[in-house]
Chains A and B, each alone.
Chain A
Amino acid sequence: MSGAKPLEIIARRAALELQDGDVVNLGIGMPLLVADYVPDDIQVYLHTENGLLGMGPPPDSDHVDPQIVNAAKQPVTERLGASYFDSASSFAMIRGAHIDVAMLGALEVDERGMVANWTVPGRAVLGVGGAMDLLAGVGKLIILMTHRTRDGVPKLVRQCRFPLTGIRPADVVITELAVFRVDKDGLVLTELQPGVTLEQVRAATEARFRLAPELVAAGAAG
């Protein structure tokens, strides 16, 4: 692997999934980093569920408007062409499939692509935010997560141990080791991150997955 940090590897690769003109919702945490890596030759429009389409980068400290924030309640800016709307309109955009792409973090993804990203067993259930709405409604669901927990436990699992966020599977899962796509039969490994071997991915993954034909052709399986 290169010397880059896992989060940077993930965010950089995730940005390549975006297409010119996409309306994109970036989840709090790591997904927000993707905004820094959007290719210069495309224009995307960032939606934040607290009521802004056309979100710009964080302001410098002299230009903070405390009433322009993202879903993490951090100060952000508005771009030319931005619009503000109430929370019901914002979630109508989400559930109504008007958001082309959502990038969200996850605690676990199972081998069918099902996502657990809002709570852990045994803890009082006191916060969900917009995760379930996003899962249910966005056009393309891309999960960004480290391949394993800090303790080395695989996060791509046979079946989620944590409570599911919904019944809609992810379309793409991007980790610092690999890229998976999800089809009707489950996870397909489509890409190894630079310098990563198939053996490393297998060792770090509990879920069963298939190899994309292009990977087989490239000799990754050998």
Chain B
Amino acid sequence: MGNDVAKGKRMTAAEALARVKDGATIMVGGFGLVGAPLHLIAELERRGVKDLTIISNNLGEPGVGLGRLLQLGRIRKAIGSFFTSNPDVIEAYSRGELEVELLPQGTLAEAIRAGGAGLGGFYTPAGVGTLLAEGKEVRELGGALYVLERPLRADVALIKAHKADELGNLVYYKTARNFNPLMATAARWVVAEVDEIVPVGMLDPEAIVTPHLYVDAIVLPGQASTPVPKEASQA
């Protein structure tokens, strides 16, 4: 992945995101704000990049996380599964300022996995016979109907993990894992925001979820980001 091995993968958020340009396609981990890399998103805001295509299950909450970038008009297109929990998305969409591509949640996850695994697509039963399969190839295989879905890849993935070692091996925490390990595999430049960095050897090899070869940069924010879900909202 071409980063300077001597320097290692530890970077500030500013260093890790220096290569993000206007018009970039960016995967952002999280299920709502749980497992979202909030410090990296704040750095995206600080950099002022715009016309972004964001691949993420949701677009945060109003004014928080990706919801903040949306309010600032930085997001041109969103690809995900559940945007109705943020009313700002509905407004931006109806004003014609935001393009939305909606996928069943399992299709979103599998498309990211497929993108990272070098596959050209996959056939899924989810969505067959619905509005979300319109315009897509539907095929009968073994007596059942499946819709062809394309893989997703991105220029950059911003993920949240619990611990990294200095090599970039990652472990996650509880339901903050969600889309993060998948996104780690499916972008050209992968930045992990973590709560702690430990020396190599301190993570149990059996427990490592994301092996280091997927990870380009590790960012330890000044303080750990622990999003608190505010109120019940659908996913």
Contact = CB atoms under 8 A, between A and B. Distances in A.
Interface of A: 28, 48-52, 65-69, 71-75, 78, 84-88, 90-92, 94-95, 119, 124-133, 135-137, 163-168
Which 10 pairs, one residue from A and one from B, show the smallest C-beta to C-beta distance? A91-B106, A127-B84, A133-B106, A167-B129, A87-B109, A136-B125, A132-B104, A88-B109, A130-B105, A133-B126
B1 interface: no
B90 A68 contact: no
A27 to B, nearest CB: 10
Given A73-B32, A88-B112, A137-B125, A128 B145 contact: no
Question: What interface size band does chain B fall in?
Answer: 35 or more
B118 interface: no
A22 B101 CA distance: 35
B106 A126 contact: no
| Most chain B CB neighbours (cut-off 10 Å) among A28, A68, A90, A133 | A133
A72 B174 contact: no
B189 interface: no
Interface of B: 31-32, 34-35, 57, 81-85, 89-90, 93-94, 100, 102-110, 112-113, 124-132, 145, 172-182, 209, 226-229, 232-235
23 contacts: A28-B232, A28-B234, A50-B178, A51-B31, A66-B229, A72-B233, A75-B229, A86-B178, A86-B181, A86-B182, A87-B105, A88-B106, A92-B110, A94-B106, A95-B124, A129-B234, A131-B104, A132-B126, A132-B127, A132-B130, A133-B105, A166-B130, A167-B128
A129 B34 contact: no
B129 A67 contact: no
Contacts of A90: 106, 109
Contacts of B132: 125, 128, 132
| Most chain B CB neighbours (cut-off 10 Å) among A48, A88, A94, A168 | A88
A51 B106 contact: no
A111 B49 CA distance: 51
B182 A88 contact: yes
